[in-house]
Amino acid sequence: MFRRSDYLITTSAALAFLLSNYLWFTGNKEAGLYVGIWVPSLIAAGVYLKLVLHRGVR
C-alpha cells in the first residue's frame, strides 16, 4: 500500500508543520511562516514524484 518514499514525504511534511508551529508560537513568526510554506511544497513534490516514478506500477 504505502511505499518507503510515501512515508518519507509524509514525515517530512509533518515535521515541517510541527517546526512551523513551534517557530510561530515561540515568537519567531516570520520564520514560522517561511517554514509553513514548505508543507504544501513537500506534499506537491511527493505527489509529482509518485506520479512520475510509479507511472506504470499499480
Return the exposure string of 2-36: e unless at least 16 CB atoms fall within 10 Å of the residue's CB, then b.
eeeeeeebeebbeebeebbeebbeeeeeeebeebb
Per-domain residue ranges of the chain: 4-53
Mean pLDDT, each 10-residue run in order, the chain (58 residues): 85 96 96 95 92 74
pTM for this prediction: 0.81
The confidence score (pLDDT) of residue 3 equals 81
The confidence score (pLDDT) of residue 6 equals 86
The confidence score (pLDDT) of residue 56 equals 63
